[in-house]
Amino acid sequence: MLNKSIVEDVIIAALSIGGDFAEVFVEDKINTRLTLLSGRVEKSVSGRDYGVGIRIFSGNNSAYAYTNDSCKENLIKVAKETAITLKNSNCNTTLNLMKSDIKNNSTILIFPSSVEKSKKVQLMKRAYNAAKSYDEVISQVTVNYLDHEQNVLIANSEGLFVEDKRVRTRLSINSIASKNKEMQTGFSGSGAYMGFEFYDTIDIEDYAKESARQAKTMINAELCPSGKMPVIITNGYGGTIFHEACGHGLEATFIAKGSSVFCDKLGKKIAPDIVTAVDDGTIPNAWGSLNVDDEGTKTKRNILIENGILKGYLVDKLNGRRMNMKSTGSSRRESYKFPPTSRMNNTFITNGDSTFEEIISNTEYGLFAKGIGGGSVEPSTGDFNFGVTEGYIVKNGKIDRPVRGAMLIGKGCDILKEIDMVGNDLEHGQGICGSMSGAVPTNLGQPTIRVKSMTVGGRKEDK
Amino acid sequence: MQAKQFIKNLFGAGKKAGIEDMEVFIQGNSILELMVFQGEIDKFSKAEEKGLSFRGIYEGKMGYSYTEKIDEASIEFLVNDVISNTKIIDSDEQETIFKGSDHYNEVNTFNLELEQTPIDKKIEFIKLIEKEALSLDDRVESINYCIYGDQSRENMIVNTKGLNLESKINSAYMYISVVVKDDNDIKTAFRYKLYTDFNKFDYKAIAKDVVEEALSLLGAESIKSDNYPVILRNNVAAVILDGFSGIFSADNVQKSLSLLKGKLNQKIASERITIVDDPFMEDGTETKSFDSEGFATKFKKVINKGVLATYLHNSKTAKKDGVQSTGNAFKSSYKAPITIAPTNMYIEKGNKELDEMVKEMQNGLLIIDVQGVNSGLNPISGDFSLAATGYEIKEGKINRSVSNITIAGNLFELLNDVEDIGNDLVFLMPSNGYIGSPSLKIKSLSVAGE
């Protein structure tokens, strides 16, 4: 991608001007994005992202620059211009980068770039047909497909030099149901750190039907009631609640500067005994997995909460300096256009003892959030929200009737304490998480859980 | 390689491969971002980026490709990619390459003084505002974000039909988020300012404004779930309009993805509502004389006194509807295909001060911030349910601050329920500042709390 001796020269050039640590990140990425609407391929865009990011630390401060022009003269110029904003050059450096081989956690069988686009389109059409023919009420279906092969080179002044290739693909189906001048939507999709063989491991028609089923259910559903009530949150994508309510607040990005409600809580009880939560970047072929993070550190299985006790944060190199902690292999970035910072990979609450049926039958009245949209959080206060796209009222231990989407809100540290049942049906959903270092693929996972009381942002009183 | 030579070579290679009409869109950005933390420049980021988008018509269909590596080797990749992308397109809508409009309005979008402002002045400004905000009150716990950034962007469209257009635009922004704390509570507030003129950043005024708002929220509590009369402050109304701005796209209408389908020339909102799309607005972040297809832009009323006057078109949707393009073709970046977006779009202001609106409402809620737009607002159904913060209004006065509530409703009902409009039009984040609204008084919204 970039010659080792050029990388060495760039790092030395930076440190000769300022800083005590320098890093080079090179990215060469092939992207394919296809959109199918009304059964026809509407958009087909592909292209090549290419650029180099240079990052320099001086103590706790950092400077970052990136460019698309990777000729040696330009990179050295950029490195020097960036370093000049920092103090404390420590350099009479000599540097001998040693290429280290990395352990590959995820086997890729069929590289997407080797697959004809028409094959990808066939797959999309199968999904379209399954969703569209699900019911007469389905008026429109959009299918989105993406794949990418991201080649990265990461090197730094500590002698690190690694290269990796990351391959991902994802397909999603949006269905719209129309009735009486109203429209409601359904969404389903899946993705993996895998090649095109991923689609042999799932039944795409099942996902398509699921999307159509949601839209049909919602067009026939009444408005969601509002107020405080127990909320049962589905497995898989339901993990959005932990991601927002707690996960972001454990990122060093916020911990290092004291702007998280979870600062100074290590070793303290922050959740009931039944809650254990993990962030694991090593799961083979999982959507949010990486062999090495975007600073070149090996990913790990990080225990965040064990039996209710806060065990660890997600740490990157820069914030690790402020916190006096080592990297947990959690530093990520969308592309060379972003300096990396601590982020989640595959985050999930581990299995408990209850069955789904037990959780429902033990609930006298409440909301079952079966379909989950995205969410957001303000880590310094812990205030979070996330959207329910498909809801059901539970009455007298039984699912009573579907209700339309509503927002759920709360404070992270309060909600964690309110989890009173954890199911035994752990699953993972594939999301895209947006934060300071851009949009990165993350898994959201959990078994079905119940929260004793949460504010449900519906539109009417329950009769 | 020089852009001109590259384009010439690319068009040559494309023609040889059988591509008929071709177009190149080049975007160059120069970006600076500074973040200050406890008096030091904690993060400094600088970039020069360039990308090239190539599209062309092969066997009657338009294919797209892009690259960030502008070298001889990319030419073959671009040409092959465009051809392979056309082969799978089976949309019946024909896209065309445009030869150019007869006339383009002149716009002034480049501020030379901003470009020439030395970096030291920017650093000084961002340090001053952090210091000022920290000094205003003992309860200011920390400034969790204090960021200054500016960007200069050059666009160029060149095609084989003779079109050759260039534009240059720059702007600067600052973002500050403060955390305040007392014995019982912790709250945040933020301000985002975007200007083309660096001199407009008033660090004292911004710091005072954001700190006062954060302090006013300490001790905020929820409120009983019910329907309340509501004033959406200008920034909140702008966020909601932004979330739904896609409903005006003719593309969404034609694909049955917008509830405005079949509503042209019908009343869809209170007669108090007029929504304008103004590409010539002074200091607008989307001010431009031509759109992403090279069409001359136009001033238009999208909703005129409650009546839907036009959809927003690019050439493809206009052809399908048998109308003229409204000059709203849009490419979010060189990576994206051509879609439709507003230029500078806003709800026309009324003549009331916010204070006056509060006084006249007597009892209800003034909403000053909402969260969760990405998941809580459904542009297809029009439904929204958003986490909200604000004040309870009693007898025409602010009684107390309110948080941990949601406001919920439907956009199409909301547009009909607008009872009053403020004189405080503002353009705001998100959306890079091209969607604006004044404060709106709404008859009633569902509020979930206790």
Contact A176 B257 (CB under 8 A): yes
Residue B297 has pLDDT above 60, yes or no: yes
- Reported as a single tens digit per residue, the pLDDT across B89-121 is 887 677 889 999 999 999 999 999 999 999 999
pLDDT attached to residue A91:
60
Residues B134 and B230 in one domain: no
Residue range A361-386: mean pLDDT, rounded: 93
For residue A455, give the chain B residue with the closest CA.
B449
Residues B202 and B235 in one domain: no
pLDDT attached to residue B337:
86
Residue range A251-263: mean pLDDT, rounded: 93
- Interface probe for B, chosen from A42, A44, A66, A217 (most Cβ of B below 10 Å), is A44
How far apart CA B297 and CA B167 sit, in angstroms, is: 13
Residues A192 and A320 in one domain: no
How far apart CA A253 and CA B43 sit, in angstroms, is: 12
How far apart CA A206 and CA B202 sit, in angstroms, is: 57
Contact A404 B450 (CB under 8 A): no
* Nearest chain A Cα distance for residue B122, angstroms: 13
* Nearest chain B Cα distance for residue A459, angstroms: 5
Q: Please return the burial class of A454, using the count of CB atoms within 10 Å of its CB with bins 0-12, 13-18 and 19+.
A: buried
Contact B81 A46 (CB under 8 A): yes
**Domain boundary, last residue among A172, A189, A219:** A219
- Reported as a single tens digit per residue, the pLDDT across B36-66 is 999 999 889 999 899 999 999 999 899 999 9
- Which residues partner with B447 through β-bridges? B226, B407
Whole-model pTM: value is 0.92
Residues of B in contact with A60 (CB under 8 A): 42
H/E stretch holding A126 reads helix A117-132
Residue B16 resides in a domain:
yes
pLDDT attached to residue A82:
92
How many helices and strands (H and E) does chain A possess?
A: 10, 22
Mean pLDDT estimate for chain A: 94
Contact A62 B42 (CB under 8 A): yes
pLDDT attached to residue B285:
87
Residue A432 has pLDDT above 80, yes or no: yes
Residues A100 and A236 in one domain: no
Residue B1 has pLDDT above 70, yes or no: no
Residues of B in contact with A120 (CB under 8 A): 88
Q: ipTM higher than 0.95?
A: no
Residue A462 resides in a domain:
no
Residues of A in contact with B385 (CB under 8 A): 224, 387, 405-407, 457-459
Domain that holds residue B385: 226-242+349-448
Residues A77 and A198 in one domain: yes
Contact A47 B142 (CB under 8 A): no
- End-to-end CA distance of chain B: give it in Å, rounded: 64
How far apart CA A399 and CA A408 sit, in angstroms, is: 19
Confidence class for position A75, pLDDT limits 50, 70, 90:
very high
Residue A90 has pLDDT above 80, yes or no: no
- Count the domains in chain A: 2
Residues A63 and A113 in one domain: yes
How far apart CA B50 and CA A65 sit, in angstroms, is: 14
Residues B231 and B157 in one domain: no
Residue B430 has pLDDT above 60, yes or no: no
Residue B69 has pLDDT above 90, yes or no: no
Residues of A in contact with B450 (CB under 8 A): 227-228
For residue B1, give the chain A residue with the closest CA.
A69
Residue A463 resides in a domain:
no
- Reported as a single tens digit per residue, the pLDDT across B160-183 is 999 999 999 999 999 999 999 999
Residues A165 and A239 in one domain: no
CB contact at 8 A, A120 and A143: no
- Count the domains in chain B: 2
As given in the structure block, the two tokens for residue A283 are 């799961």
Domain that holds residue A381: 227-457
Nearest to B372 among A85, A142, A387 (CB): A387
CB contact at 8 A, A204 and A127: yes
Task: Name the residue with higher pLDDT: B374 or A401.
Answer: A401
- Which residues partner with A325 through β-bridges? none
CB contact at 8 A, A230 and A448: no
* Nearest chain A Cα distance for residue B371, angstroms: 7
Distances (CA, A) of B326 to A28, A399, B338: 38, 50, 14
